[in-house]
Amino acid sequence: MTARKRYWLMKSEPDAFSIDDLQRVGTEPWNGVRNYQARNFMRDGMKVGDGILFYHSNTKVPGIVGVATVASDAYPDDTQFDPGSDYYDPKASREQPRWYLVDVAFERKLAQVIALDEIKRHAAALGEGFPLTARGNRLSVFPVTGAQWKLLLSLEKKLPA
C-alpha cells in the first residue's frame, strides 16, 4: 500500500530564490527555515513525490507562481552549523541538529501568477483558517489539502491572459 500524496505551499522571496532560479537549477535544498512548525512540516510530514505550490512573497504581486515536488526526505540543514551563514544556530550541533530541510524539484512555472488578491476571493471555498487568507499567519511552509490544491490550480485557467 502506498502512502497518500500530500500537498504543500512553500513561500520564497523572489529576490532570494525565485521560481526562475528553481527552474534553472532543477533541484534545490529548501534551507534557512527557522520556524519550528514549518520545520516540523518538512521533517515529519513531507514525503518524496508530494506536490508543492511555489509562492512568491514580499513582492509587488505576491502569489503562486509555480509547481514543484518534494525530491528528498528531510535531512539536517547545514546552514545551521556555519558561523558565516545568516541561518547559523549556535545551539545546533551535528549530533543534535535543530533545523531540517527537504530538496525541492521544479515541475512547472504557471502561465501567470495566481495573485494573493485572487486567492482571497476564494477564502470561503478554501476553508476557515487557510493560512494565506487568515490574518496574522506568517508560516513559510504549510500543508494544503487535495481540494485546496485543485481549487488553487484551477484559478490559473480562469485568469485573463
Three-class DSSP category at 112: strand
pLDDT tens across 60-75, in order? 999 999 999 999 999 9
Asked if the model's pLDDT at residue 137 lies above 90, the reply is no
Whole-prediction pTM value? 0.93
Residue 53 CA to residue 154 CA, distance in Å, equals: 13
CA distances from residue 17 to 12, 42, 108 in whole angstroms, order as listed: 6, 18, 15
The whole-number pLDDT of residue 157 equals 79
How would you classify the pairing of strands 63-70 and 27-29? Answer: unpaired
Asked if the model's pLDDT at residue 1 lies above 90, the reply is no
Q: Which residue has the cell 495566481?
A: 114
The whole-number pLDDT of residue 2 equals 55
- Compute the radius of gyration of the chain from its Cα atoms: 16
- DSSP, residue by residue, 49-90: T-EEEEEE-SSSS-EEEEEEEE-S--EE-GGGG-TTSTT--T
Comparing CA positions, the residue from 14, 16, 21, 30 lying closest to residue 69 is 30
The whole-number pLDDT of residue 58 equals 93
Three-class DSSP category at 106: strand
- Classify the C-alpha dihedral 87-136-61-26 as positive or negative: positive
Structural domains of the chain, with CATH: 7-128 (3.10.590.10)
pLDDT band, very low/low/confident/very high, at 159 (cuts 50, 70, 90): low
Hey, how many other C-beta atoms are within 10 angstroms of the C-beta on 66? 20
